[in-house]
Chain A
């Protein structure tokens, strides 16, 4: 039996300080109060003082309450029985079924040796032209969806999850509204995907510190499945809530904040999670799609900003559409050279014209006369928005490329597109000229 400590000498924010000995950094403890038991984690040691962040929050903790150290860091089961189950942020069942305690592993394990990674080469088809054509999603990619409150980011996440061909889906919810959680669960259920999914859900009403565990729990499980040759898709929503929880703990610990109150190690903390995305040399893969809501629609806010530097691109979801500007899949070059010969050129040309279209729109709104070129651009832009950008469009990549040529041919002649002559010869619709 491990020693029980009764001497809580400080309670500040959600961090308590206990005088104790022989405690390892990052170890777990159980804090027992009159209201129940909560898990807590060691975050700092100083002489005989042990600082613990209490996952259930410090409300109601008395200085005389019991603290019992478990002698190991946070663990999660990696057994196959997890499939179809729903847990809280700290790993307790949320679906009123028994807890699982076999095959326990530590969360937040070491990073993958870059020498054991392979270059990702497999496209994930989503049926959304703005992704498949313009910013192809690739297996093992880590990609955030930058959005603002009110946008259908969770719907987009769910839709990609349903259409992507993966073996296991792991959903991590941080500060998720209860309705959204139910919606996710029902969508997975309706499409028969719940049996290949694992859910770690921290809702908005749960104690905020608990959300800190969610990404690590999800990714530790994902890693074990990937090592068993599974292709795993991890969905995280919303990473801004996770970062805010980090901020709260850092401020409580009196760390010097770096930017808008966020701790100086925000980049490293986020990177430690996102970098778990991997295509193993000789095993499965982990792909991460994460929602990052941008407070005030400001991409220079520390959370989206640091995220953008870590992830392999980003999707901007704005006005219910994936914005072509700013959205980027850094790995698309790995796959779009081998889909179809015209993939890259359609991608580049259409985006370029769409940018010109936006400029023309600006000119138009200022009341300038429209040249014949402007009118061509206007025609193109309208068609692009309705036939390609709309999120309801659901067509395979090849059809989307054909559609691209059709729109181009309807609006421009071949020279105006600036496309290499040999590609024009091969792909330009024959009936257009």
Chain B
């Protein structure tokens, strides 16, 4: 540590330091600004001559020209090892609960703590044997972490092939213990512990190949799974103006999605929302495992009032943790809320660096940064043939709710599904407010494609009739057209809309979706016979109520069948060819 490069401050502009250094510096190297007895973490983001620009991950108040800088020679890295699950970190992977124990109510700057508990003991079972040849990411052994086998792997940073010299026998070890000794072709010997470090801004690529994502990731949200599906290993974005329910939707997905591990990156958003997750997840049960939801979750939380540079780092930290668990053959879901705040962090730094601005003064490299972030998603075949995936869902908060802005546009280019939230729908309290006509998905739906076409057609026609009615009035519309409108409204109310605050309606399983979707399609397919529009409206209101009540009854409840009978009876009341 002592012989590392040093320097001193020559300029302070917001959270940007200009530093004069002595010997060589590395781009994206971590450095510390020393202010009395505290050290503030910073990252080199530009070098010009003997001066480097550093973004500080903390407030810079009190720093003076001439204050010393210590460089570390390390890139900004995440620590990977057993014990990450259930944790709550800030953007730099400091554990927030331990910070609270140490420094109380406030996040005092300059306090950094180990992300992992080095003294915790883990029950190790070896897999590799002396003499085996391993590559980075290959499994040495495993420890149980919650419901998963947490594999101890040859660190991702080990290049080339390594021969195993020895492996620790089964037993309890802490995180400092040497689990294996390995040697490469050049005769270099290294110890492997359960912990490894990886620079967050570089993708982990220890896998054989990347596959096309095909299997749906069931989110238990009807409008998503049936109409705009998301695939395991795919990407999706949820742009929407404020108040359209982005965060509520993300919470619903994080609770009900059928992923092994869920990582939530609360990036530049409200602290209150993170608190809801922090306090509620431990209480909620994952119906698939019977364990607390927290057991499968990691939360990276860099809320809007926390330093902006750490906000930029937080999404990279999150995706690096996702890649780590993917390497164990798990399906990981990463939810980033919101990528716009991350883009704004880029913009703030770009402005301080006085770079030539692009559109809306976002930096010119915005698109490539967004693309390379989403490209870290994917379904991969690991070295041993097993599969793992990362699905990335990013919410976008476009300025003024206008999807033409640069962040939304750059995101749309690289994602596989677009779940656009609409203010009109949210004002009309139609939740989730995903727009059924504007949104799209390139992935395969769980329901029958031809039926889906019919449903979409009905929605489109219904909207047209509704538009027309605004011009020619209800009296100028034929009863047939009016019934199409009523059918589209019916589909909207009983299928697209879902009440996240109701215990039953909040999550609809795949089987139930297919089942009820067919019921809804039956209604759309039926020719009804009505004397006039008022009777038609009244009939559909009644039918809708029967269906809504059905949505609130558990699938395996005896009442479900009862309610279904009522619906069938109701349909035949007016069906032309009953």
Tell me the A residues contacting B by CB distance below 8 Å: 21-27, 44-48, 73, 108-120, 140, 227, 255-259, 263-265, 267-268, 271-272, 274-276, 278, 280, 283, 299-300, 302, 305-306, 308-310, 312-314, 325-326, 328, 330-331, 333, 337, 344, 348, 351-352, 355, 362-363, 366, 368-369, 371-374, 415-416, 418, 420-421
Q: Mark B516-543, 1 if CB is under 8 A from A, else 0.
A: 0000000000000000011001100110
Contacts of B544 in A (CB 8 A): 418
Is the beta-carbon distance between B474 and A114 smaller than 8 angstroms? no
Decide: A22 and B64 in contact? CB cutoff 8 A: yes
Tell me whether B12 and A114 are in contact (CB under 8 A).
no
CB neighbours of B534 from chain A (8 A): 371-373
Instruction: Choose one: A23, A115, A308; the contact of B100 (CB below 8 Å).
Output: A115
- Inter-chain contact B360/A420, CB cutoff 8 Å: no
Rounded to whole angstroms, the CA-CA distance of A421 and B303 in the bound complex is: 42
Please, which residue of chain A has its CB at the minimum distance from the CB of B545?
Answer: A418
Query: Which residue of chain A is the closest to B401 with respect to CB atoms?
Result: A300
Instruction: Assess the A114–B274 pair: CB atoms within 8 A.
Output: yes
Tell me whether B305 and A363 are in contact (CB under 8 A).
no
- Please tell me if the beta carbons of A113 and B107 are within 8 angstroms of each other in the complex: yes
Q: Which residues of B contact A331 (CB under 8 A)?
A: 272
- Is B105 touching A116 in the complex (CB atoms < 8 A)? yes
Interface centre among A47, A267, A333, A337 (most CB of B within 10 A): A267
Sample 28 A-B pairs with CB under 8 A, ordered by A number.
A21-B66, A23-B65, A25-B62, A25-B63, A44-B13, A45-B13, A110-B109, A111-B303, A113-B104, A114-B278, A115-B96, A115-B99, A115-B100, A115-B278, A116-B105, A268-B304, A271-B305, A275-B304, A300-B401, A302-B399, A313-B243, A325-B427, A352-B429, A368-B474, A369-B475, A373-B537, A415-B545, A416-B538
In the bound complex, do residue A25 and residue B60 qualify as a contact, i.e. CB atoms below 8 Å apart? Answer: yes
Query: Across the interface, do B429 and A275 meet the contact criterion of CB distance under 8 Å?
Result: no
Contact assessment for B105 and A44 in the assembled complex, using a CB-CB cutoff below 8 Å: no
8 Å CB contact of A111 from B88, B103, B106, B351: B106
Partner of B96, one of A109, A114, A118, A312: A114
User: Apart from A44-B12, A113-B103, A374-B474, what are 19 other A-B pairs with CB-CB below 8 Å?
Assistant: A21-B66, A24-B61, A25-B12, A45-B12, A45-B65, A109-B106, A110-B108, A111-B306, A112-B106, A114-B278, A115-B100, A115-B278, A256-B351, A256-B361, A258-B361, A264-B361, A308-B243, A369-B474, A372-B534
CB atoms of A416 and B399 under 8 A apart = no
Return B132 CB to nearest CB of chain A, in Å. Answer: 42
A348 to B9, CA, bound (A): 57
Q: Which residues of B contact A120 (CB under 8 A)?
A: 272
Q: Does B6 contact A (CB under 8 A)?
A: no
State the CA gap A283–B552 with chains docked (Å).
Answer: 39
Contact yes or no, B344 A117, CB < 8 A: no
| Distance in Å: Cβ of A301 to nearest Cβ of chain B | 8
B103 cross-chain contacts in A, Cβ below 8 A = 113
- Please report the C-alpha to C-alpha distance between residue A119 and residue B360 in the assembled complex, in whole angstroms: 36
> How far, in Å, is A24 (CB) from chain B's closest CB?
4
With a 10 A CB-CB cut-off, give which of B274, B399, B475, B549 has the most chain A CB atoms.
Answer: B399
B270 touches A312 (CB 8 A): yes
The chain A residue with its CB closest to the CB of B246 is A309
**Cβ contact of B428, chosen from A109, A272, A337, A355, cutoff 8 A:** A355
Whether the Cβ atoms of A117 and B63 lie closer than 8 Å is no
Q: Please give, as numbers and ranges, the residues of chain A lying within 8 Å of B474 by CB-CB distance.
A: 363, 368-369, 371, 374
Task: State which residues 1-52 of B face A: CB under 8 Å.
Answer: 9-14, 18
7 cross-chain pairs, A with B, having the tightest CB-CB distances, nearest first? A300-B400, A275-B305, A368-B473, A271-B304, A26-B61, A308-B242, A111-B305
Please give, as numbers and ranges, the residues of chain A lying within 8 Å of B573 by CB-CB distance. none
Does A22 lie within 8 Å of B88, measured CB to CB? no
**Most A CB atoms within 10 A — which of B105, B107, B243?**
B105
Is the pair A45, B301 in contact by a Cβ cutoff of 8 Å? no
Asked if B354 lies at the interface with its beta carbon under 8 angstroms from chain A, I say yes
Smallest Cβ-Cβ distance to A120: which chain B residue: B272
Task: State which of A256, A276, A305, A415 has its C-beta within 8 Å of the C-beta of B305.
Answer: A276
Please determine whether A337 and B303 come into contact, CB atoms closer than 8 angstroms.
no
Which residues of B544-558 have CB atoms within 8 Å of chain A's CB atoms? Answer: 544-545, 548-549, 552
Do the beta carbons of A415 and B541 come within 8 Å of each other?
yes
Q: Give which listed residue, A25, A314, A330, contacts B61 with CB less than 8 A.
A: A25
A280 surroundings in chain B (CB, below 8 A): 105
Q: Is the CB of B100 within 8 A of A265?
A: no
> Are B105 and A275 in touch, CB under 8 angstroms?
no
Give a binary string over B51-79; 1 marks a CB under 8 Å from any A CB, 0 the rest.
00000000111111110000000000000
A108 partner residues in chain B, CB cutoff 8 A:
61
> Which of B18, B280, B344 gathers most chain A CB within 10 Å?
B344
- Interface 1/0s, chain B 460-477, versus A by CB < 8 A? 000000000010011100
The answer to whether residues A114 and B243 also contact, given A22-B64, A276-B305, A418-B545 and a CB cut-off of 8 A, is: no
Task: Tell me, rounded to whole Å, the shortest Cβ–Cβ distance linking A277 to chain B.
Answer: 8
**Bound CA span A362–B541, Å:** 23
Q: Let me know if B552 and A26 touch, CB within 8 A.
A: no
| Measured CA separation A23–B63 after assembly (Å) | 8
| B12–A421 touching, CB < 8 Å | no
- Interface residue from B64, B268, B308 paired with A45 (Cβ < 8 Å): B64
Contact check: which of A111, A265, A267, A308 meets B14 at CB < 8 Å?
Answer: A265
B242 contacts across to A, CB distance below 8 A: 305, 308-309
Residues of A within 8 A of B222 (CB): none
Q: Is B402 an interface residue, CB under 8 A from the partner?
A: yes
| A23-B64, A363-B473, A369-B475 known; A46-B13 Cβ under 8 A | yes
User: How far is B104's CA from A109's CA once the two chains are assembled, in angstroms?
Assistant: 14
Asked if residues B470 and A362 are in contact (CB atoms below 8 Å), the reply is: yes
Q: Which of A26, A48, A256, A257 is in CB contact (< 8 Å) with B65?
A: A48
Q: Given contacts A27-B62, A418-B545, is CB(A312)–CB(B243) below 8 Å?
A: no
CB contacts (< 8 Å) of A333 on chain B: these are 501
Task: Give A106's nearest chain B residue, CB to CB.
Answer: B61
Query: How many angstroms from the CA of A420 to the CA of B547 in the assembled complex?
Result: 11
Tell me, rounded to whole Å, the shortest Cβ–Cβ distance linking A26 to chain B: 4
Contact yes or no, B97 A310, CB < 8 A: no
Cβ contacts under 8 Å, B62 to chain A:
24-27, 73
Taking the closest CB of chain B, its distance from the CB of A202, in whole angstroms, is: 22
On whether the beta carbons of B541 and A418 are closer than 8 Å, the reply is yes
Chain A nearest CB from B541 CB (Å) reads 6
Q: Which single member of B278, B348, B399 contacts A265 (CB below 8 Å)? A: B348
**Could you tell me the distance in whole angstroms from the C-beta of B564 to the nearest C-beta in chain A?**
16
Taken together as a complex, chains A and B put the C-alpha atoms of A276 and B305 apart, in Å, by 8
Q: Say yes or no: B107 contacts A111, CB within 8 Å.
A: yes
Contact string against A for B residues 264-297, beta-carbon threshold 8 Å, 1 for contact and 0 otherwise: 0000101110111011100000000000000000
Residues of A within 8 A of B548 (CB): 418, 420
